[in-house]
A and B are shown apart, each in its own frame.
Chain A
Amino acid sequence: MTALKLEQVGKSYGSIRVIERLSLEVDTGEFIVFLGPSGCGKTSLLRMVAGLEEVSEGRVLIAGQDVTQWAPGRRNLAMVFQHYALYPHMTVRANLAFGLKNIGTSDAEIARRIDEAARMLELGKLLDRKPEQLSGGQRQRVAIGRAVVKEPAIFLFDEPLSNLDAALRGRTRIELARLHQRLGATMIFVTHDQLEAMTLATRIVVMNGGAIEQVGTPAEVYRRPATRFVAGFIGTPAMNFIQATRQADAGERVALALPGGGALVTRVPAQGPARGANLVLGVRPENLRLCDAEGAVLAGTVDLVEFLGERTLAHVRLADDTTVGATVTGAAPQVGERVGLSVDTAEAHLFDDGAVAHHAEAAPAAVVPLRRATS
C-alpha cells in the first residue's frame, strides 16, 4: 500500500525555484532516505511532506488522501528535528504526552504508550528530568520517543544524527534500524551522510539541485548509478572518472581509447551511448587494480600511497595529468614508480555528454583480457 505519494511537487521562493516538479511513491513500511549535498532541497521536501513548508505546485497524498492544504497536526505524522526541538520547560514525560493530550487521548492510554516508548528507548530514568538536564544523545532519544508515542502513519527524520559525536552516531543509527524493524513503520530520513543512507535505507532518493537524480536500493545506487552525479556522490573514496574517446565498436560493445593511448573494450552495449559523444569512463577504486606497467591498458606514476587498514589505495597520475585512485594488490608501490592499471569492465560505467550513465551488461564477473594499444 502507498503510504506517501508526491505528485509533481515543486517549490519556489518568488522567482527562485528550489525544487523541480518531482514525483515519488513510498510504500508502507519502507525506510526512505533523501540523500544529497547541502542545499539540494531534501530538507525542503521533507518539510513540505510535514506541512511546515507550503507546496508551490503539485499534490502530497498520505494514505491516499490529498493533504496538500492540511495543517501539519492533521497529517498523522511525527517528526524528529535536527536540533531535537524538545519543549525546554517540560519534563521528558510531559514532552512525550503533549501531542497526545492535544488530540484528547485518555490518560491511561498516554501512560501506556509512554511506558512502552520508555522501555523501548531506555528513557525510564529520564522521565522526570527536563531537557537541559539531558545529554545530546539522551535528548535525541527523547525526540525519537516523542515521535514513537504518537504512533504516526509516517516518521520524518531531519538529519537527526548530525549533532551527535561519531561513536554515538553509529550507535543511534543501529537503534534506528532496530526501531524500524520492530515498528514496521514508514520512515523518511534526510541526510547528507551516505553511510547513514546506505545502512538505513530500503530505498535511497538521491537529490541534487532540487531534482531527484535516482531512486533505488542502496546496492542499485552504488552499483548502477543513474547519473554521473550519483556515481561521484556515492562511495568513499569516490569513483574515478577518466576521459575517453570512442573507437569503432568491438562487436556489440563500446570500445574506448584511454589517456596514454591504451584501448579498452567495455561491456557497455554499443547502442547505449549516442554516437560521437564524448565519453567518460567511471570506475570505482576497488575495480581499478595495480598491475605491471608493461602491456597495461592504463599506466601512470604513483603520486601517493594511502594505507586505509583493510586495503591500500594508490593515487596514480595518468598521461592526461588526472589522478585516479586504485587498489593495491600485493606489495605497496613506491611513490614515483611507474605502474599499470587493469579495469574490471563488469563494474565500469560510461557517462555521456548528458552525464547519463550506461552500465556494463550483467554477466558473470570476469576481467576482460587487456591489450596494449598499437595505434
Chain B
Amino acid sequence: MSAPASTLAALGPVARRPPRAQAAGVRRSRLSNALFVLPFVLLYAVLVLVPLAQGFWISFHEHDLLSDEHTWIGLENYANLLDDEIFLQVLWNTLRFVLISVPVFVVLSLALALALNRPGRLSAWLRGMFFSASVLSVTIVTLVWRLALMPDRGLVAQLLSHVGLGDVSFLTSETLALPTVAMITVWWIIGLPMMLFLSALQQIPGDVYEAAALDNATRWRTLLSVTLPALKRTVMLVAIIEIIRECQVFPQILLLTAGGPNNSSRSIVQFIYEQAFVQLSLGYATAASQVLFAFLLVGVSFQLWLQRDKRGAAR
C-alpha cells in the first residue's frame, strides 16, 4: 500500500466518526486544556479569592479575634468607618502619600534610566548602586534613615547646619513626617522602576534614533517625539505598580514615625493592622480592608481609562 493511502486508512475511523462523538472529543480536549491551568486557578482561588470573599463576609460581623465570636451587624462597620475621624485621616494620609511618592517615582526613575542608559563601567556601576538599596530590608533602611535624620548629630542635621540652616525635625513635624517617609521610600525602592524604564529604553531600536538624527531632530525633540512615546506603556506600568505598592505603605511608617505625630503619618494598612491585631476587632479591620480594595480598584481603573487608546482597549 502506498504511503498516502495508508495515511488515509489510518485517518478513516476518525473522519467517519459520527457528529456526537466528535462533539464529545472537543469537550474532552477542552477539559484537558483546563487541566493545564487548574494548578494556577486552584492556588489563586485558595490564596486570593477565598480570603477576599471571607474578608468581605467578616466585614459584616462584629468579630472578636481572641474569642473568635462573631455577630452579624450588616453594614454597621462601614457606617462606623465613615464616622471615624482617625479612619478618614488615615485615608487622606494614604492618598497624600500616593500623590507625593508616585509622581516622584515615575519622573525620577525615568530620569535615572535616561541618564544611565549607556554603555560603560560608570553607568553599570551606578545602575547597580541605585538598584542595590531595593534589596535592603525595611529594618535596615529605616535604621539608616533614623540615624541620618537624628536631630543635632544626624548626617542631615549636620549638613543643614553647614549651609546655615537651623535644625529641622523631619520625623516629628506634622507637615514634614509623611513627605519625609515618602522620600525615604523613593530612595529605598527606586531601583525597580528604574530597571523597568531601562529595559523599555533598550527595546527602542537604534535605527529610529538614527532616522531622527538624519531628520535634524534636536536631543530634546528626540526625547519628546521618539523616546517618551515609546515609554508610554512603561510609564503606565510603573504608575500602577507604585500606586498599588504605596497604597499599602506600612512597615517604614511603623518604624520611622509609628504613625505620628498626631496621626499625621498613619496609613490605612497601619490602621487595619492596629484594629485587627491590637484592638482585636477583626470585623472593623476587614471593613477598612474592603475600603482599601475599592480605593485601589477605582484608582487603577481610572488610570487604565486615562491611557486607553483610540480603539477603546486599555493598553
Cα distance A83–B221 in the bound complex, in angstroms: 22
Chain B 198-214 interface mask (CB, 8 Å, partner A; 1/0):
00000001011011111
Q: Is B292 an interface residue (CB 8 A)?
A: no
Within 8 A of B (CB), among A339-369: none
1/0 per residue, CB under 8 A from B, across A77-95: the answer is 1110111011111100000
Residues in B with CB closer than 8 Å to A88 are: 208, 229-230
Q: Are B208 and A79 in contact (CB under 8 A)?
A: no
* Bound form: Cα–Cα A119–B29 in Å: 53
CB <8 Å contact, A89 and B229: yes
Q: How far is the CA of A141 from the CA of B207 in the complex (A)?
A: 17
A171–B218 CA distance with the chains assembled, in angstroms? 36
B208-A99 in contact (CB<8A): no
Contacts A73-B215, A89-B230; A102 near B210 (Cβ below 8 A): no
Contact with B along A51-93 (1 / 0, CB 8 A): 1100000000000000000011110011101110111111000
Q: How far is the CA of A98 from the CA of B211 in the complex (A)?
A: 10
The CA-CA distance from A81 to B207 in the complex, in Å, is: 7
Closest to A102 in B: B216
- In the bound complex, residues from chain B placing their C-beta under 8 Å from that of A50 are 210, 214
Against B, the Cβ 8 Å flags (1 = close, 0 = not) of A289-307 are 0000000000000000000
The smallest beta-carbon distance between B221 and chain A, in angstroms, is: 7
| Docked-complex contact B217 and A98, CB < 8 angstroms | yes
Q: What residues of A have a CB within 8 angstroms of the CB of B216 in the complex?
A: 73-74, 99, 102-103
Query: What residues on A are CB-neighbors of B214 within 8 Å?
Result: 50-52, 72-73, 77-79, 99
Interface flag for B123 (CB, 8 Å): no
Q: Which of A71, A74, A86, A102 contacts B221 (CB 8 A)?
A: A102
Q: Are A52 and B225 touching (Cβ within 8 A)?
A: no
A82–B215 CA distance with the chains assembled, in angstroms = 17
Cβ–Cβ < 8 Å partners of B156 in chain A: none
A79: contacting residue among B211, B229, B232, CB under 8 A: B211
How many Å from the CB of B187 to the closest CB on chain A?
33
| Residue among B210, B211, B217 with the highest chain A CB neighbour number at 10 A | B211
Whether B81 is near chain A, meaning CB under 8 Å from some CB there, is no
Minimal Cβ-Cβ distance residue in B for A47: B210
- Size category of the binding interface on chain A: 20 to 34
Contact in complex: B207, A98 (CB < 8 Å): no
Interface size class of B (residues with CB under 8 A): 10 to 19
Q: Bound complex: CA of A146 vs CA of B221, how far in Å? A: 18
B211: which A residues are within 8 A, CB to CB?
79, 81, 85-87, 146
Query: B158: shortest Cβ distance to chain A, in Å?
Result: 47
Q: Which residues of B contact A73 (CB under 8 A)?
A: 213-217
Task: Please tell me if B240 contacts chain A, counting CB pairs below 8 Å.
Answer: no
Would you call the interface of chain A mostly helix, strand, loop, or mixed?
A: loop
Which residues from chain A contact B207 at a C-beta distance below 8 Å? 81-83, 85
- B208, B213, B215, B230: the one contacting A52 at CB < 8 Å is B213
Q: How far is the CA of A150 from the CA of B215 in the complex (A)?
A: 9
Which residues from A are CB-within-8-Å of B226? 87
Least CB separation from A84: chain B residue: B207
CA distance A103 to B208 in the complex (A): 18
Q: Are A81 and B210 in contact (CB under 8 A)?
A: yes
Residue from A71, A78, A83, A103 in contact with B213 in the complex, judged by beta carbons closer than 8 Å? A71
A88 to B: closest C-beta gap in Å: 7
**What residues on B are CB-neighbors of A82 within 8 Å?**
207
Q: Which residues of A contact B229 (CB under 8 A)?
A: 88-90
Ranked nearest first, the 8 interchain pairs of A and B with the lowest CB-CB distance are A99-B215, A73-B216, A85-B207, A89-B229, A102-B216, A85-B211, A72-B213, A72-B214
The 27 listed contacts between A and B (C-beta, < 8 Å) are: A50-B210, A50-B214, A71-B213, A72-B213, A72-B214, A73-B213, A73-B215, A73-B216, A74-B216, A78-B214, A79-B211, A81-B207, A81-B210, A81-B211, A85-B205, A85-B207, A85-B208, A86-B208, A87-B212, A87-B225, A87-B226, A88-B229, A89-B230, A90-B229, A99-B215, A102-B215, A150-B215
Contact residues of A with B, CB < 8 Å?
A: 50-52, 71-74, 77-79, 81-83, 85-90, 98-99, 102-103, 146, 150
Other A-B pairs beyond A83-B205, A102-B215, 16, CB < 8 Å: A51-B213, A71-B213, A72-B214, A73-B214, A74-B216, A77-B214, A79-B214, A81-B211, A85-B207, A85-B211, A86-B208, A88-B229, A88-B230, A99-B214, A102-B217, A146-B211
